[in-house]
Amino acid sequence: MTYNEFLKSHGIPAEFPSEVVNQAALIPDEISEKDIKKRRDLRRLKIVTIDGDDAKDLDDAISIEQLKNGNYSLGVHIADVSHYVKEKSPIDREALERGTSTYLINKVVPMLPQKLSNGICSLNPRVDRLTLTIFMEIDQGGGIANYNICESIIRTSERMTYGDVTKILDGDAKLHKRYEPLVDDFFLMRKLAKILENKRIKRGSLIFDIPEPKIVLDENDVPIEIGKHEITISNKIIEEFMLVANETIARHINKLEIPLIYRVHESPEADKIAKFVVMLRGLGYKLQRGLGADKGEIKPKYLQTLSNQIKGKSCETAISTIMLRSLMKARYCEENLGHFGLAAKYYCHFTSPIRRYPDLVVHRVVKDWLNGRIDDKRKKNLSVFTADAAKKSSEAEIKAMNAEREWDDYKICEYMEDKIGEEYENAYITSVTSFGLFVALDNLAEGLIRISNLRNDYYIYDEAHYLLRGKRTRQEFRIGDRLHVKLVRVNKEAQQIDFEIVEDKEDKKKKKGASGGKNESKKEQKGGNKAKNKFKSKMKWGKNGRKSSEKSGSSK
């Protein structure tokens, strides 16, 4: 399947309509003096972008300073896309239709024409760019002591990458010398990011560490390597700064009672949590719940406590994934319903207007407020529009995420095609079903061990405890169990991979295994596995390897 065929099958347009291309062509490549009027000039400030190596749509930049009172002044500077994309213009209508950019490994289907996304809107180094800025004074406990929102013009000092910033923080002497004027800022950023993260954890925000595949393609789009995306301290710095900016903007607009598109994440359904609790019990874990005072309500801090308990265990990824699937999906909404996963009362997407339509709407609302354009008529129009745009944006996000996931699956299958017959000693069970075991390899390729291929016994599915149990041997297969498997089939068109368990003499002597909690040591002794790419419940929340604690739409 070619790249364009894949896009067509998912209803994702590869090209922009001619009227959009023509309108984009009329947008100047340079900023005029008229554009700068009434904006706060921040061009003398030390401002940097930090992104993935191959990122071209740079929509967020940051600055930092420690104040005399010990607090931090954090500046989050976001590309002012709304200056160029006017409401109801051809570009705006197309952006609403697309809803989001779609990231397919080494290719991007942008929401906006490249003239904007990679050009005049992108915060490229050492050139003037129009931005919308929020300065936040943050105290030593992570609280917002004060903040200021303004239209601005910036000139970023450097285009930094996650890798280089991480190396600087790890003490790389060569990079220290190269970026000497910024080094102290990076250490200050790390210190503040940790303060913000600790505050989120304290209030109950969920922080998952679920690995995502990193697929490397050659010049012909053929996969040559599969590994795991490395989440570094620099990724976390950007994540924390974008989260606090998004939350502060949402709180500010909500208090003004101006219609907005919120990013909401509702409390999980009781029956899903009940099933999750039973599964945990079978693995030797318990989920704290305030059933009396809370009337069955589950709180995010209870799930975070569980995440801490399973950290480093062989079942960590599997349990975290099932936990995520037990939660509601984050979505866009015109009502402020709060964000369960972040344990936040107010949350919106403000920091990525180049690649997400809701962010563009939030920018327009903020600028209307800054310029005194919010009246009853505008509020009425916004109420209608935000409801429609939130619904369309949620639908577009799901379409893009499905396409991204399936393209990953397709390329993983393509990579595994010539490896049929190879054995893998350390696969782990990610899910158990009535028809077999899903397993993942260390490179995150997933596949299925069909129950019909478990030939040493007749296995019965225990749905309540997420396990298969042999009728004669009583051998059990549970999530997190490690298995020795062989790759037997690959169907890239169906995005399916099949494994079989390899049993050597030692395996045959082993008794039934157990997993999780008290049985952790026994679990490592098992031999068996399964995997299937379509089982993937991972979500891509960021571009270019960025992850977000929100886990459903990047924090940026």
- What are 446-468's pLDDT values in tens digits? 999 999 999 889 999 998 788 99
* Nearest 10 degrees: Cα torsion 167, 542, 364, 333: -140
Cα–Cα distance measured from residue 456 to residue 211, given in angstroms and rounded to the nearest whole number: 33
**Residue pLDDT, tens place only, 247-257:** 999 999 999 99
Cα–Cα distance measured from residue 97 to residue 85, given in angstroms and rounded to the nearest whole number: 14
Cα–Cα distance measured from residue 482 to residue 439, given in angstroms and rounded to the nearest whole number: 9
Give yes or no for a contact between 110 and 355, defined as CB atoms under 8 angstroms apart. Answer: yes
Give yes or no for a contact between 472 and 466, defined as CB atoms under 8 angstroms apart. Answer: no
**Residue pLDDT, tens place only, 28-87:** 999 999 999 999 999 999 999 999 998 999 999 999 999 999 999 999 999 999 999 999
Q: How far is CA 142 from CA 146, 157, 247, in A?
A: 12, 26, 13
The label of the residue with tokens 């903007």 reads 249
Residue 168 carries which side chain, given as an amino acid letter? I
274-294 average pLDDT score: 72
**Residue pLDDT, tens place only, 394-418:** 999 999 999 999 999 999 999 999 9
**Can you name the residues that pair with 447 across neighbouring β-strands?**
439
Give yes or no for a contact between 351 and 359, defined as CB atoms under 8 angstroms apart. Answer: yes
Based on its alpha-carbon atoms, the radius of gyration of the chain, rounded to whole angstroms, reads: 25
316-344 average pLDDT score: 93
Q: How far is CA 94 from CA 17, 36, 99, 154, 543, in A?
A: 8, 27, 8, 28, 21
The label of the residue with tokens 């974008």 reads 242
Q: Is a pLDDT exceeding 80 seen at residue 540?
A: no
Q: How far is CA 182 from CA 52, 69, 536, 556, in A?
A: 18, 22, 40, 22
The label of the residue with tokens 């002044």 reads 73
In the chain, where the domains are located: 3-264+334-413, 270-330
Q: How many CB atoms lie within 10 A of CB 256?
A: 11
pTM: 0.88
Does residue 302 or residue 551 have the better pLDDT? 302
Q: Is a pLDDT exceeding 70 seen at residue 544?
A: no
Give yes or no for a contact between 137 and 149, defined as CB atoms under 8 angstroms apart. Answer: no
> Residue 236: its pLDDT value, please?
97
Residue % of the chain over a pLDDT of 70? 89
Q: Is a pLDDT exceeding 90 seen at residue 294?
A: no
Tally of CA atoms within 13 A in the half-sphere of 380 that contains its CB: 3
The label of the residue with tokens 């939350």 reads 247
Cα–Cα distance measured from residue 126 to residue 128, given in angstroms and rounded to the nearest whole number: 7
> Residue 101: its pLDDT value, please?
97
SS3 category, 315:
coil
